[in-house]
Amino acid sequence: MTAYIVRRILLFIPILIGLVTVLFALLNILPGDPARMMAGPFADPDVVENIREQMGFDRPLYVQYFDNLWDLARGQFGRSYQSRRPILSDLIEVFPKTVQLAVSAELISALLGIWLGVVAATHRNGWADRLIMAIAALNLSFPLFWLALMLQIFFAVMLRWLPPSGYGGGFDGFIILPAVTLALPSMGLLARIARAALLEITSEDYIRTARAKGLAAALIMRRHMLPNALIPIVTVVGTDFVRLLGGTPIIEVIFSWPGLGKYAYDALVFRDLPALQASVLLLALCVSLVTLLVDLLYAFINPRIRYA
C-alpha cells in the first residue's frame, strides 16, 4: 500500500510540469499585453515599459519559462498582477470558500441522489422509478448558467426568500442557491448510478438467500445491497467533488462567490499568469489527492481489493 501511494505521488510530478508548460504556452499565445493591463489603458508608454522590465516580460520566453519552473519548485508563486499581493495569501483566502461551497453541494447531491436511487431501484419500472429517472435526466440537461439564473429569479427576486448573490459567513443563506445549483446535476447523475449499481446486484445469490430467510427489505438494502454498490457511487462522488473544488467559475461569477473558480476566471481575463497558474496547480493537486483517496477507499469498502 505504501509503495502504491509513493508511486502515485511521484507520477504527479510530470503531470504538474506538463500543466505548467501547456498553461504557459496558451497564455503567451493569447492576444493582449499584461503590462498594459496592469498599467491601465491610458498609462504612459514609459510606465508600461518599466512594468514590463520589472515583471520580466522583456526577457526571452524560454528564460521566463525556466525561471517560472524554478520558482514553482521552490514554492514561490510570486505576486498577482491584479491585487499586487502574494498569490499564496490570495489562495489561502479564496480556497476555503470554494471548499465550503463544494462540501455543501456534494452533501446535498450525495444524500438526495443516493436516496432517490434507492427509491428508484426499490420500485423498479414503477411510477416512482420513472418519475425519478425523468427528474434525473432533466437535471443533467439543464445548463448550469441557465439554472443559476432561474433559481435567482424565482427564490431571490420573486419570492425574496434568499439573497441573490454575495458571500456571508460561509454556511448561511448566501450559500444555498449556488450549492443547490451545483448539486442538482450531480444529484441526477448519482441517482442514475445508484439505481444501476443496486439493480446489478439484485439477482445475486446472497440477496436471494437473504430474502429467502425472511429478512426485511430495508435491512437487506442497508446491510447487503448498499455496501456492495458503493464502489461506483464512491467513484462518482469523488470525481464530482473534484469538479466542485474547481469552483465551476461560471457559478461563482454569477453568484459573486469569492472562491477559487472566480479567482482563476479573473486571472484568465487579466492574463494574470502567476495567479492562474497557481490556481490550476492547486486544482491539480486536489484532483490527485482526491483520486488517490478514492482508490484507497476501494480497498476499505471491498477487502478483496489490495494494492501490491
What is the model's pLDDT at position 247? Answer: 59
Question: How far apart are the C-alpha atoms of 190 and 136, rounded to whole Å?
Answer: 9
Same domain, 39 and 102: no
Domain carrying residue 32: 20-73
Question: How far apart are the C-alpha atoms of 264 and 80, rounded to whole Å?
Answer: 11
Backbone angles phi, psi at 79, to 5 degrees: -115, 150
Q: Closest Cα partner for 136 from 173, 184, 75? A: 184
Which pTM does this prediction carry? 0.78
Same domain, 61 and 159: no
Same domain, 49 and 180: no
Is residue 225 within 8 A of residue 207, CB to CB? The reply is yes
Q: At what angle do helices 230-245 and 173-200 cross, to 10 degrees?
A: 150
Same domain, 277 and 193: yes
Task: Please report, in tens digits, the pLDDT of each residue of the chain (308 residues total).
Answer: 677 677 777 777 787 788 778 877 877 776 666 676 666 667 777 777 777 777 677 777 778 788 777 777 777 777 787 777 888 888 888 888 888 888 888 899 889 988 888 888 888 888 888 888 888 888 778 888 888 899 999 888 888 888 888 887 777 888 889 989 888 888 888 888 888 888 888 777 777 787 787 777 777 777 777 777 777 888 888 888 877 876 578 888 888 888 888 888 888 887 777 888 888 888 878 877 888 787 777 777 666 666 55
Same domain, 57 and 146: no
Is residue 181 within 8 A of residue 148, CB to CB? The reply is yes
User: How many structural domains comprise the chain?
Assistant: 2
Same domain, 61 and 168: no
Domain annotation covers residue 161 = yes
Same domain, 163 and 246: yes
Question: How far apart are the C-alpha atoms of 54 and 253, rounded to whole Å?
Answer: 31
Is residue 187 within 8 A of residue 119, CB to CB? The reply is no
Domain annotation covers residue 181 = yes
CATH number at residue 233: 1.10.3720.10
Same domain, 164 and 109: yes
291, exposed or middle or buried, with CB in 10 Å at 0-12, 13-18, 19+?
middle
Same domain, 135 and 189: yes
What is the model's pLDDT at position 284? Answer: 79
What is the model's pLDDT at position 60? Answer: 78
Domain annotation covers residue 85 = no
- In one-letter notation, the amino acid at residue 84 is R
- In one-letter notation, the amino acid at residue 175 is I
The grid cell for 289 is 489527492
What is the model's pLDDT at position 159? Answer: 85
Domain boundary among 41, 73, 105: 73
Same domain, 138 and 260: yes
Domain annotation covers residue 87 = no
- In one-letter notation, the amino acid at residue 63 is V
